[in-house]
Every structure is written in structure tokens, then in C-alpha cells.
């Protein structure tokens, strides 16, 4: 099922990207140093760059995954806007299963990175609420990739969604929309402003350390 959800999200993101004007296409996202154009390139990177090619480049960057991802993103971002959007549509149904993160990795990126684009631009574009619920279950699980949420960082917090029947953990409460919770616990400090509760100070520190 997760592959189908990722496909649907990619197609929706392609529609969002196609409807942006030139200034929005060049705008900064919540991912430091990346514009919307870079993010569009990043969406197609898993389908365009195979594991072998990625591994060889990672050796060049001494195993630094973030720098390797940035390298390929910037190379792909040189392609024209229509080509990047067309590639995203053409490969929307590709089943990518990256090492360590599995199919949840690409799914998580469609949810989080769409909002990385939409929030700075003031757009309402978002994945369905059901997708956020699935993602939150993963982000608060013991199997979450450390690159998304460091193990143990949510200890002592009770997260409560105000737009769904969902909660996690015990301790100081933090309440708000599922999207804001997901964005905050993965290091998007701007989303903390959409949350409330006695655990907010602790969650702010977590967001800062994960950003």
C-alpha cells in the first residue's frame, strides 16, 4: 500500500510544481540551501540515481550521505523545469526501496518535502490526513530512520493530534495538527509555532537539534 500512496503524492506534487510561477520556482524552501527547483530535482533523484552510482559518489564524500544527496540534487537541478516535472510524473509509480529506510523513506519525503515547499510560499498544498497518520506512526516507532528522528528524542513527551484521533507517548503534552507534529519532530522549527502544551519547550529543543 505504501508504494501506491507514494505514487499518488508524487503526482500531486508534480501538479503543485507545474502551477508555480517563476519566482516561486526559485524560492527558498525549509531545507537550507535548496530552492523549489532543487527540491523538484531531489524528488526524482531516487529514481534517476541507482544504488551503485550513489555508493561510488558517497565514497568520494567519505560516506557523508547528506553531502552525497546534495551533490546529485544539484546536478539534477540543472535540468529544465518542464523536464524535472515530466520525470516526476513518468517515474511516480517507481517502487524505490533505499537501504536502511526502505519504502517508508520515499513516502516520508513526499509528505515532508511538499510542506517544505508549501509552507514558505504560504500554500495550502498538503498530502491527505491519512498519510500523515501513517507517517506519524512510523516517525514515533522504534524502526524510524535516525536521519528523520533520532532514537529516544521523544522520550518524556506525549504527542496529541487535534485533527485526528491519534496520540503517542507519555509525559509533557504537545498538541496540534498532525502535519505540524510531523514537521516539528523531524526538525522543522517553524512548525513548532502551530503547536501548544507544556512540552513545547522540550519539543522546540528537539526540533533545533534535528534541523
Q: Can you give the pLDDT of all 211 residues of the chain as single tens digits? A: 999 999 999 999 999 999 999 999 999 999 999 999 999 999 998 887 766 566 665 667 576 677 877 888 998 999 999 999 999 999 999 998 887 788 999 999 999 999 999 999 999 999 999 999 999 999 999 999 988 998 888 999 999 999 999 999 999 999 999 999 999 999 999 999 999 999 999 888 877 666 6
| E strand residue ranges, 42-200 | 157-161, 167-168, 172-176
> How much is the pLDDT for 210?
62
**Element at 199 (helix H, strand E):** none
**Strands of the 167-168 sheet, one edge to the other:** 167-168, 157-161, 172-176
> Would the CA dihedral through 196, 184, 40, 143 be positive or negative?
negative
The pTM assigned to this predicted structure is 0.92
> How much is the pLDDT for 63?
63
**CA distances to 43, 91, 123 from 134, in Å:** 20, 23, 22
For the record, the C-alpha cell of 139 comes out as 516517525
> How much is the pLDDT for 9?
98
| Cβ proximity of 48 and 94 under 8 Å | no
Output the CA angle 145-161-103, nearest 5 degrees. 30
> Would the CA dihedral through 80, 85, 90, 91 be positive or negative?
positive
Amino acid at each position: 500500500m505504501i508504494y501506491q500512496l507514494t505514487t499518488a503524492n508524487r503526482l500531486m506534487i508534480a501538479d503543485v510544481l507545474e502551477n508555480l510561477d517563476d519566482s516561486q520556482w526559485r524560492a527558498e524552501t525549509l531545507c537550507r540551501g535548496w530552492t523549489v527547483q532543487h527540491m523538484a530535482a531531489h524528488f526524482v533523484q531516487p529514481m534517476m540515481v541507482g544504488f551503485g552510482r550513489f555508493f561510488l559518489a558517497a565514497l568520494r564524500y567519505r560516506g557523508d550521505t547528506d553531502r552525497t544527496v546534495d551533490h546529485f540534487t544539484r546536478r539534477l537541478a540543472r535540468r529544465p523545469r518542464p523536464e524535472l516535472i515530466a520525470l516526476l510524473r513518468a517515474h511516480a509509480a517507481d517502487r524505490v526501496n533505499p537501504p536502511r529506510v526502505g519504502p517508508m523513506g520515499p513516502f516520508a519525503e513526499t509528505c515532508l518535502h511538499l510542506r517544505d515547499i508549501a509552507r514558505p510560499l504560504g500554500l495550502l498544498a498538503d498530502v491527505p490526513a491519512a498519510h500523515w497518520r501513517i507517517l506519524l506512526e512510523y516517525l514515533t516507532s522504534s524502526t524510524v530512520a535516525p536521519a528523520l528522528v533520532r532514537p529516544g528524542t521523544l522520550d518524556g513527551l506525549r504527542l496529541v493530534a487535534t485533527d485526528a484521533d491519534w496520540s503517542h507517548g507519555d509525559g509533557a503534552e504537545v498538541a496540534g495538527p498532525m502535519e505540524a507534529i510531523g514537521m516539528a519532530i523531524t526538525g522543522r522549527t517553524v512548525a513548532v509555532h502551530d503547536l501548544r502544551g507544556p512540552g513545547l519547550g522540550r519539543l522546540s529543543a528537539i526540533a533545533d537539534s534535528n534541523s
